[in-house]
Chain A
Amino acid sequence: MLRFLLTRAWQALFTLWVVVSLVFLLIHATGDPIAVLAPEQMSAHSRAVLRAALGLDRPLAVQYVRYLAGVLHGNLGVSYYSGQPAMRLILERVPVTLELVGLSIGVAVLLGVPFGIWAAVRPDGVADRVLRSLSVLGSSVPTFFLGILLIYFFSVAFNVLPASGAGSLRHYIMPAFTLAFFRIALFTRLVRSTLLETLNQNHVRTARAKGVSEPVVILKHALRTALLPLVTVFGLQFGQLFAGAVITETIFALPGMNRMALQALYRLDYPVILAYVLVVAAMFVTINFLVDLAYGLLDPRVRHHG
Chain B
Amino acid sequence: MGRFSRPPLVPTTFLLALMLAAIFAPLIAPHDPQQQNLMMRLTPPAWVQGGSWAYPFGTDGLGRDVASNMIYGLRVSLLAGIVSVAISVVLGGVTGLVAGAAGDGWFDAVLMRLVDIQLSIPVVLIALAVLALTGRGLGKVILVIGLVGWAQYARLVRASVLAERQKDYVLAARLLGASRTRVIFRHLLPNVLGPLFVQVSVDIPRAVELEASLSFLGLGVAVTTPSLGLRIAQGYQYLFSGAWWPSVLPGLALVLLVLCENLIGDWVRDVLDPHYRRRRKSGVPAAPAQAAPATVERTVP
Contact = CB atoms under 8 A, between A and B. Distances in A.
Interface string A253-283: 0000000001001101000010001001100
Contacts of A236: 120, 290, 294, 297-298
Interface string A205-247: 0000000000000000000000001001101100110111011
A15 B120 contact: yes
B120 A288 contact: yes
Interface stretch (A42-50, A67-75, A182-190): A182-190
B295 to A, nearest CB: 5
A139 B128 contact: no
Nearest to A123: B283
Nearest to B257: A140
B195 interface: no
Contact of B125 (A242, A250, A302, A305): A242
Given A152-B248, A239-B120, A262 B128 contact: yes
A14 B279 CA distance: 38
A292 B297 CA distance: 13
B44 to A, nearest CB: 14
A117 interface: no
Interface stretch (B25-33, B51-59, B160-168, B237-245): B237-245
B291 A186 contact: yes
B229 interface: yes
Nearest to A230: B291
Interface in B245-301: 247-248, 251, 254-255, 258-259, 262-263, 266, 279, 282-291, 294-295, 297-301
B255 A145 contact: yes
Interface string A57-77: 000000000000000000000
Given A193-B279, A265-B219, A305-B300, A185 B120 contact: no
Contacts of B209: 142
Q: Which of A4, A236, A239 has the most CB of B within 10 A?
A: A236
A268 B133 contact: yes
B122 A233 contact: no
A149 B251 contact: yes
B126 to A, nearest CB: 9
Interface in A121-177: 123-124, 132, 135-137, 139-145, 148-149, 151-152, 155-156, 163
Interface stretch (B66-74, B95-103, B183-191, B210-218): B210-218
A302 to B, nearest CB: 5
A268 B213 CA distance: 20
A26 B130 contact: yes
Contacts of B233: 144
A39 interface: no
A196 B283 contact: yes
Given A136-B262, A140-B255, A186-B290, A149 B117 contact: no
B242 A156 contact: yes
A99 interface: no
Given A15-B120, A141-B258, A193-B284, 6 more contacts: A156-B244, A196-B284, A246-B124, A246-B128, A268-B132, A305-B301
20 contacts: A19-B117, A19-B121, A23-B129, A26-B129, A135-B288, A136-B262, A140-B255, A141-B258, A145-B251, A186-B290, A190-B288, A190-B291, A200-B282, A232-B294, A232-B298, A236-B120, A239-B122, A242-B125, A284-B120, A284-B121
